[in-house]
Each structure stands twice: as C-alpha cells, then as structure tokens.
Structure 1
C-alpha cells in the first residue's frame, strides 16, 4: 500500500503551496511519523520535494512543480465524471476517489471535470415503491471479487426456493441496468443475477481463478449463450392496431413487423426461448394478438385461455365481442 500512499502524497503536494507532515497524515489517514517518512521517500526518489523548518514551514514542490499523473485528456475526463460523478448515485469510495482526482488535475481541466460531475443525477427509487433488490448484497459480492474470497451464496431462481452454492467470484457485469455475478463453480463458469442472491457468506478460503481468465472475454461468451437461448424459437401472427407499444415493452428488439393490412392488423414475428414462453408473454393482450404458428404457440394460448375461463367463469353479458379472426393460417406473413 505504500506506493499508493506515495502517489497520494504527491497529488496532495500538487494542490497546495506547502503542507505539513500533520496535514498530510490527516489526508492519508496515517501517523505523522509515517507521513514524514513518505515525504522523505519522495525526495529520495528524485521528486523535487524540499522541507523548510520553523514557523510557517512545511514541505513543498520546488518551484511549484507539477506532475500530471492522470495522463487523461479533457474529453476522457469529462466522460469519466459524467459516468461516475457525485450526483449519479456513486458510492462513498467513488466520490472520495473523484475528489482526489479533481485535485490531481491541472487547473485548466479542473473546471470542466467539476461541471461534468454536476451534469447528471440518478434516482434509484423504483416507480412501484419497491426497493432495489441488488443493493442488499452487491457490496459484499464486489468485495469478494476484489479480495478473491470464496463465497457460499443463496440463490433463488424465479418460482423456486433459494439454494446455496459455493462459488469463486470472478467479476460483476452489468447488462441493461441489471448486474450479474460471474463465478466459477463445480459446474463451470456461471452467471448469477445479483438481485436474486439471497445470502452471501465467506467460507474463509481464497477464491480460485482460472489461469489466463479475462472478464470481458468470459462475459461475451456467456452472454452469447444466453442470447442464443433467448431467441431459440420464433412465432408468427398478427397484431391489432395500437398494440405496438405494448409489444415492444414485452419483447423489446425480439419483435418484428410486416406491412399493415387493409384491416389495420399488422403481421408480426417474435423470438423467444420457446413457443410456449412467447405465448405466455403475449397472453395478456387477449384477442388483440393472434398467433398463427407454430402449433405449439396456439396450443399454449388455448391452454392458458381454458385455465382462465375455468378460474373466472364464462364471459358475462355486455362483454365486447372479439375482433374478426385472421385469414387462414399461412395466408398472411410478415414482409
């Protein structure tokens, strides 16, 4: 850690005309004696640092010398502060690091960095009023990744009871605002959605790390497999006017449209893990979407309809009539 302290000491000197060992000790969170040794180490390393004894004395850089340790360009600095500035939901350690970085920047770049830090805000409150599920265990998972600690985690898949697994945490990845833990397990590399982690316990053992492991490469490979599973099946059908916004909310980029017909209905194609899953996603649209093929999708919708009818009974008087049925299957196809 001493190398980190020496860099921090030099950055602190750059922002002050003169500092005392006591001031540096307070800044670095060390004893005054340690701070003095660090200053002497900088001088011994050839950094133009000198001390002046007596009242009003202290340590200074010769001639106000500066060393731009960041190596950052103005556009890079603006981008960094836009992404992680104090008003974007960054944690306390990030905010402390950003303050230190501001002090380390040359004066011409400092104003732009501070302006960029004030340019964004993040509101973590769910519109439904529910607290974010990720926050509960994210810090513990991140710490285990950095410190390479083996973990025993509880993990609950949708509709199942939590199950404990021993994992070797390797990294945290974020996709579309959702964080995932990448970990090595007895079954190989796996991803765990952070919001579904129910408990985190350190086993006391160090985490193993595969030789040559690269987080970005591993994530791309795992993400590609997940995406392949998400588009393993395609259904075709047609949608009533005004359903586009709902369809895109449900399926995102997995929905495609054909040319709207004279009756206002639009041919659609939708991708998903299976015809049954896609059917379940579209079931809430009722008669405003009709699936034409494959047969498994139509069977799944018929089963869902029968279950709902059995649960809620036959439609009562005054129920609006369903729109006209589509032409025979295969007569309309997306363009």
Structure 2
C-alpha cells in the first residue's frame, strides 16, 4: 500500500501549494511519522519536493502546484476511479486509497472521477445457476461514458419479444449481475432497467441527466434484484426449522430464505421461495430432519406424495442401519 500512499501524497502536494505532515497524516489516515517518511521518500526518489521550515512551514513542490505531475488524462482518471466503485473486486484498502486521491485530482478531472467511482455496481449473485463468465456487451463503454458525463441518450432497445423500440433515457448507473450487464435509467415512464446486450444503438443527446439527489446505485440495484428474484420465485413455503438447521438452509437456498423469529418451542420461523410448488417440495423433501413445512397446502400435498413414492419404492429394501457413512471403496 505504500505506493498508493506516495501517489496520494504527491497529488496532495500538486493540489495544494503547501502541506504539513499533520495534514497529510489526517488526509490519508496515517501517523505523522509515516507521513514525514513518505515525504522524505518522495524527495529521495527524485520528486522536486522541499520543506519550508519555521512557523507556517510545510512541504512544497518546486514550481508550485500548477504542474500536473500525476500524468493522468481525463479518461485515465475515470478508469482509475472505476476500480474504486462500491462493489468492485479490489480490496477495501485499495478502494479507500483510490477514493482519497479524488480530493487531490486536478479540478477538471475531479467531477468525472467522482462520477466514475459511483457509476458501477458488481453483484456477485447470479440469476439461477448460470456459470457463464461476464463479457462486456457492445455498448457498455458508451453507456458508462454517458453515466459519468451525466448526459441523456437516445437508446435503441430490443425487448424479449424481439420488438425494437427507441426512447430517450437518463442513465443513472450500470450493474453487472453474473454474466449480464444492466443499465439503470430514468425514463418518461419512471425508473427502468435495460439489459445492455439488448441495446441496439446509443446516441448521446448532450442534454444533462436529471439525477435524483438521493439516488444511490447500490441501494437501487438491491431493490431491483430483490424484486426480480421474487418474481422468479413466486411460491413461498412457510416452515419451522430447528436452530441447527438454519445454516443448512442458508447454504441451500441463499437469498430465497427469509428467517423470522423463534417460537415458544425454540424452533425458528422461516419462509423459503421457489419457482413452483412441486419443485419447492422436492427441494424440501431431503430436509425433513430440520424443517416442518406448515404451508401452503399444495407444497405439503406434494411432500406427502413424494414421501409415499419413496416408501413404496424403497420401503421393502431397507436393510440394517449403518452408524456411519457408507465406505465407497
């Protein structure tokens, strides 16, 4: 992380005509001793930095802060801060260091760097069981550019019925969900989500995006993903689960499991969502040691039917009980 600190210190020097070790320490959340060592290290590395002693002293760059020592272009600054998005794969420490740099970037870059840092959310949970690795769709760069610059676009879009439409949208952010990429945008009909691989054209209008003051991309995407998941799994089974079984249910059902409160006998109320009653009953059939399904009646009827078939097929074949797992060798 020292390289990140040195770059952050250098950009602070560039942005401010003079800094003290205490200011660097406060800005980068390090000790003053570490800040002084970093400032000395910049000088030893050949950076034209010098100290001004006495009252009102500090550290300065030779020639002042007018020279752009960062070497970053506007596009490079945006790319840098895309890595610091709220749900990217970089470590929290790297995210924090990159975000600190925004305060020291040259003024023309700062607004777009801040926009880039909040333009993308990566959702690791996939829809269903897809294992396809995400590939950036054709118009991803153009749409992300529109989000960062805050401009409306004329969007060509092909829906699931293969009908093509065109509309003007206000891009607010982009989300990656497993292999799929989505644009979150405001439209004349309200907020909408568009699969970017279905976008057929992108034409920036130059008009500014009307962005709600309280909009948060991560929160908005969570609400969108939750709504989609509930539509994909409309059936809800209610059950009582022994405490030791909650971990098993979490592993098996993930976001499809809602855990409630404890009952008087110590069991825990749970709700499990599924695609249809029969499939959900099949998933629950192997968990009878942990859960007692209380509803709906359709799921219970399917469980009983599955149980009857199992007894009919295997009931007469049951041999002596084994105390441990069967040796496959």
TM-score (norm 2): 0.41
Pair member with larger Rg? 1
